[in-house]
Structure 1
Amino acid sequence: MKKTMSLCLMVIISIIFSACGTTSTPKDTPATQNPINSNTASPAQPKEVALKIGLPGAYDVTKKEIIDGFKTKYPYIKLEIEEAPWGDFATKITPELAGGTPPDVWFQENAVILSYGKRGVAEDLMPYIEKDLKLDDYTSALFAAKTEDGKVWGIPHGLNPSTMIYNKKLFDDAKIPYPTKDWTYEQMLDIARKLTKDTNGDGKSDVYGLIVTSAITSGWFPWAKSAGGGILDETKTKAIVDDPKTIEGLKQWVDTMKTGLAPTPDVVKVNGGGDQMFGQDKVAMMPLQYSAQAGLNKNFPDLDYDALEMPIGWDGKRVVPLVTNSWVIFSKAKQEVKDAAWEFLKYYLSDEAQQLLAASGAALPVKKSAMEKLDVSTKPQNKLAYANGVEEAGITTDENASWQEWRLAAQPIFTDMYNMVIAPEEGAKRIQTKIQDVLDRNK
């Protein structure tokens, strides 16, 4: 009888506890298996934020698909697009910065961005990069706007490096093998001698093996570096134009015209420019920036040519001049806006956006994986020569915060050197003084 009463009591207690919801979960059953969790909160919706993006050159320079892709992925970031022709944008941004009303994120020439960093209006992006990016995914050009103290004032909008292009017809007619990627300046000049010809017997060359220019990227800068010299030292605070190695490289540059391997400036002018001479089979080899291929293809659709990495210098090193435009975030914007601007830059550096950039043919991407998406349906087919050149030896043209000023001071003298009205030795001395004065004033 006692046992029966005990069993009944246990059943009653069990029923009461079950009704009160106090039955414990078995030890071997995870709590997450409970099918109902009334305490689970809904994910917080991102706070809406307005972001103004500046686009110099509008959608002719920046792919609209990239902007649209960002809008789709980040609907809570409400975009205002400020666009204008490139020159108008550059003029307009100066008073906007003075008044504290520029776009929140925009891009300009890399050297200009470096000057913004010095003035305190550009956000240092290094903390953002270290937090969110895997550096191995990108080329070293990601840090084109990095300064000696480790600050990064911008990230590339696109890369515009140089290669040498060569006219395959002229090589074939002369039965000369196409150059290979390990070629040198010395070999380039030797090939140029073999391809330079007087076809009508008047004692003057009608076909030239090479063409040189007075421009920084395709002219004096790579030639100054070719013998181990340069324009500025590694700190970008001292000029080294009067270094004997720099002078030797500049002499080689001018001697291509003196010896007849390259046309003189007056011959280039008479023939309508270097692109015209190359397209009309009058020049066998020519330096070409990535962005210039579209114009060459448009003007000479049947031209048979290809690209090759810049040659290796006499010092055993290759130098690939690299021009970039860089995105910058306005440092005085509210933090939530700067965070939104960085979300945009992260998207711009993503596979999706970088592949769109690669396919456009307007500039090289900075993400390595996107290099596989380069448009090889147009000439030159070997567009990887640009990409490989950047990865191996891409450098900016000694850009620093005073780059615009010292370059403008030096260019007229380099032009006189190119026109052969002043010897490289004398010109280098004058340029040395001009550049160093600018650098000292901007310390």
Structure 2
Amino acid sequence: MAPSDPVTMRLNRRSLLRGSAAAAALSFGPGLARADETRLRLAWFGSQDRTRRTQAVIDLYQQKAPGISLVGEAISGGAYWTKLSTQMAGRNISDVFQLEPRTISDYSGRGACMALDPFIPQVLKVEDFDPGTVDLCRIGGKVWGVALGLNSFSLFYDTTVFAKAGLPAPTAETTWAQYADLAVELTKAVGKDHFWGSSYGARYTYVFDVWLRQRGKALFSADGQLGFGVEDAKEWYAYWEDLRARNGCVGGDIQTQDQSIIETNPLTRGFSAMGFTYSNQLVGYQAMLPNKLGITMVPQAGGGAPSGHYYRPALIWSVGSTSKNGEAAAAFIDYFVNDVEAGKILGVERGVPPSRKVREAILPTLNETERASVDYVTFLADKVGAYQAPPPIGSSEFGDHLGLTTDQLAFGQLSVAEAAQQLFEQGSALLRRR
């Protein structure tokens, strides 16, 4: 089954629940079988490894909460957001569902999320979280979700390819100019058809955001508008088009197939030796590749400029606004982020745990790859900027717009100047409509 197929995998004990319910109905009559049972639906997206870990925590929780029935649903690709929109329209949102930083403003603003403030701190305990972590999901004065882990932006690279090519791997000091030269040299050194040094990074909003922050700007301003201008976008696009012309990165025909999931990144598909992604995904990427991956910072501007990096919630659990069991849903989230045994199962696949207690407990249990992910986040401690508020409403649509505009540029349908103008003008309009 192709990773990009919009496949929905229904998990947990659905068949068992059906059988048990049917048997109970025969014994006790309709309507009595689940009278004392609270049923919660969970939905998330991600790799098979994430699904395996999540399912294991679900199973463990049900052993400790016998009155709760949990049914998990892992939805791959863009089908997740389609399903969520359908549930919103039908007022049937999953009790607990997964969001990310760029989508929480959109979906909380559209009424998909239940405010969690009434459950804090009695049900949902956050006193062991690092300062500011709760605020990462606070919008308009209310908490709409809980960060499942902290991460930051990163560059992954295939250590084996670099070693065989006899070239130095990128480091935290590598500048954008040095990165471009390195990618070009690597393509030449490997000398293999359909293999390049780098992915085509112009398509990633978070890499563009880092690049802008290194220059004192940002993807979005504090008032929810674009934080850059046409000339900034023109410089960004010119960098990547120049790298593509030098044969240092993959072309549009490959990059456009990346659906922002691990399985479709040019790095995991064997088309590039370097790829941009989030630090917590090192676990998932390494599971897909035979060669050892290295992790470092996104290229730097140099000259004492800011790193452009900041900590962010890797992923978020929110409670559906239509849930009839909000307190039970909040209790499950509390277990997910605060229980040590759950933390050992989850590891750092969704980021470094927000709970200090869980973090300290799992460190000795981590494998080499997981530890590298934690070490990287720790390494950034004196290099990151201030915690950022969630992106504004419309940021998700802007991300789609950037992807489309960049694809048109990569296929030669727009010039650098035209792409920059379109990105700014239509992107501004998307945010204004909100």
1:194-246 deviation digits (Å, cap 9, x = unpaired)? 5453677xxx999754332453257655445554444321232x123425344
Paired position in structure 1 for 2:110: 119
Cα displacement (A) at 1:306: 1.6
1:286 maps to which of 235, 258, 275: 275
1:139-177 deviation digits (Å, cap 9, x = unpaired)? 856544332x33221123456754212233444355544
CA distance in 2: counterparts of 1:212 and 1:328, whole angstroms: 32
Asked whether 1:154 is paired with 2:142, we answer no
Asked whether 1:326 is paired with 2:313, we answer no
CA distance in 2: counterparts of 1:199 and 1:179, whole angstroms: 16
CA distance in 2: counterparts of 1:328 and 1:397, whole angstroms: 17
Alignment CA distance shift 1:180-1:381 (3 Å): farther
Structure 1 letter corresponding to 2:244: M
2:159 maps to which of 168, 178, 181: 168
Structure 2 letter corresponding to 1:251: A
Unpaired runs of 5+ residues, structure 2, are 1-35, 258-263
The question of whether the paired residues in 2 share the 8 Å contact of 1:229 and 1:243 is answered with no
Paired position in structure 2 for 1:54: 42
Cα displacement (A) at 1:339: 2.4
Structure 2 letter corresponding to 1:78: I
Q: Secondary structure at the match of 2:69?
A: strand
Q: Which has the larger radius of gyration?
A: 1
Paired position in structure 2 for 1:73: 64
Unpaired runs of 5+ residues, structure 1, are 1-47
The question of whether the paired residues in 2 share the 8 Å contact of 1:142 and 1:366 is answered with no
Cα displacement (A) at 1:350: 0.6
CA distance in 1: counterparts of 2:384 and 2:250, whole angstroms: 28
Paired position in structure 2 for 1:42: none
Cα displacement (A) at 1:122: 2.0
Paired position in structure 1 for 2:343: 354
Cα displacement (A) at 1:434: 0.8
What is the TM-score of this pair, normalised by structure 1? 0.68
Cα displacement (A) at 1:133: 3.9
The question of whether the paired residues in 2 share the 8 Å contact of 1:357 and 1:363 is answered with no
Alignment CA distance shift 1:172-1:367 (3 Å): same
Paired position in structure 1 for 2:231: 244
Asked whether 1:309 is paired with 2:297, we answer yes
The question of whether the paired residues in 1 share the 8 Å contact of 2:203 and 2:402 is answered with no
1:258 maps to which of 245, 253, 270: 245
The question of whether the paired residues in 2 share the 8 Å contact of 1:323 and 1:396 is answered with no
Paired position in structure 2 for 1:210: 198
Instruction: Report which structure shows greater RCO (CA 8 Å, sep ≥6).
Output: 2
CA distance in 1: counterparts of 2:40 and 2:318, whole angstroms: 12
Structure 2 letter corresponding to 1:212: Y
Structure 2 letter corresponding to 1:239: L
Alignment CA distance shift 1:99-1:419 (3 Å): closer
Q: Secondary structure at the match of 2:59?
A: helix
Q: Secondary structure at the match of 1:83?
A: strand
Task: Give me the CA root mean square deviation.
Answer: 4.3
1:306-354 deviation digits (Å, cap 9, x = unpaired)? 22232334542233696744222234555xx322222221111114223
1:439 maps to which of 423, 431, 434: 431
Q: Percent identity?
A: 20
CA distance in 1: counterparts of 2:189 and 2:265, whole angstroms: 20
CA distance in 1: counterparts of 2:126 and 2:204, whole angstroms: 33
Alignment CA distance shift 1:411-1:88 (3 Å): closer
The question of whether the paired residues in 1 share the 8 Å contact of 2:230 and 2:421 is answered with no
CA distance in 2: counterparts of 1:420 and 1:219, whole angstroms: 22
Structure 2 letter corresponding to 1:307: I
Instruction: Report the more deviating stretch, 392-401 or 157-166.
Output: 392-401
Structure 2 letter corresponding to 1:137: F
Alignment: residue pair count? 381
Paired position in structure 2 for 1:231: 219
1:274-298 deviation digits (Å, cap 9, x = unpaired)? 3267x58xx5433244576567545
Instruction: Report the more deviating stretch, 65-74 or 221-230.
Output: 221-230
Structure 1 letter corresponding to 2:41: I
CA distance in 2: counterparts of 1:240 and 1:405, whole angstroms: 16
